[in-house]
Amino acid sequence: MDVCGHKTLTVIPRPFIGRSKNCLAWKSRMGLYVNEGKDNGFVYLRELCTNHISKVRMPYQYLGEVGELWLTRLLASSTPERIDCSISLIRPYTIVKPNCRENFGNYSAKPAYQEKEWVDFIERNVRQTKGKDFQSAYHHFMKYGLTQYYWIDYIFQSYVNYQSDAIWLTGFPDKPAVLTKVKTHDKTIQVRSR
């Protein structure tokens, strides 16, 4: 497998996955990013609240368009001195405005939300999370949300459309009126016996 220009194993080594809090996947979290452009198969993503720019190798062909707002999960390099990029662990969730559901043959023409709207959303909700300072509260919010199924519910309720290498969402998790589906996750699980 070619990762960030370096040949790697086809099996992901133990430090990347597993149940230990020391593995890289455990330390990763969802993030809201603005697509800043692409170059040689990489996409450059700027995180909304930190303004940190990451050079990202996408496992899918979709590299998006400049200005798109993405909800995705990045895995940072374990050796930044050797490998200077991150890897997206999931397809990007591209967030578009609610009135942009028609003509999805041309995804790049869909306007995104203004960054300020999402920064306001984060500030509204980060205050409700655990954390000593904004950075730790933001990390907790993007990893765990406000409830057990927070990000899963948002993805389900805001789904608009997809193609094989990207998914489109709309709305804000804390404003159910603008989501496409308003039913919240049923916390009871029914198992049918055979």
Cα three-residue angle 48-93-10, rounded to 5 degrees: 105
> Domain containing 121: what range?
2-178
**pLDDT tens string 29-73:** 888 999 999 998 899 999 998 898 989 888 888 888 899 999 998
pLDDT at site 81: 57
pLDDT at site 174: 86
Residue 173 lies in a domain: yes
Cα three-residue angle 7-10-16, rounded to 5 degrees: 95
Residue 190 lies in a domain: no
Query: What does the CA dihedral 57, 116, 68, 49 come to, rounded to 10 degrees?
Result: 0
Residue from 21, 142, 16, 166 nearest 86 by CA: 16
Locate all alpha helices (DSSP H) within the chain, ordered by sequence: 24-27, 115-126, 134-144, 150-158
How far is Cα 161 from Cα 10, in angstroms, rounded to an integer? 31
Residue 63 lies in a domain: yes
Query: Would you say 139 and 29 are in contact if contact means Cβ atoms under 8 Å apart?
Result: yes
Residue 183 lies in a domain: no
Query: Would you say 37 and 43 are in contact if contact means Cβ atoms under 8 Å apart?
Result: yes
Is pLDDT of 14 > 70? no
Q: What is the CA radius of gyration of the chain?
A: 17
Residue 85 lies in a domain: yes
Q: How many domains does the chain have?
A: 1
Query: What does the CA dihedral 75, 50, 31, 1 come to, rounded to 10 degrees?
Result: -20
DSSP calls for 53-77: EEEEE-SSS----TT-EEEEEEE--
pLDDT at site 29: 80
CATH number, domain of 14, equals 2.40.50.140
**pLDDT tens string 89-134:** 888 899 887 655 454 544 444 556 788 889 999 999 998 887 789 8
Mean pLDDT of the chain: 74
Residue 184 lies in a domain: no
Is pLDDT of 22 > 90? no
Residue 193 lies in a domain: no
Q: Structure pTM?
A: 0.74
pLDDT at site 84: 72
pLDDT at site 1: 42
Residue 188 lies in a domain: no
Is pLDDT of 189 > 50? no
**Helix/strand/coil percentages in the chain, nearest 5:** 20, 25, 55
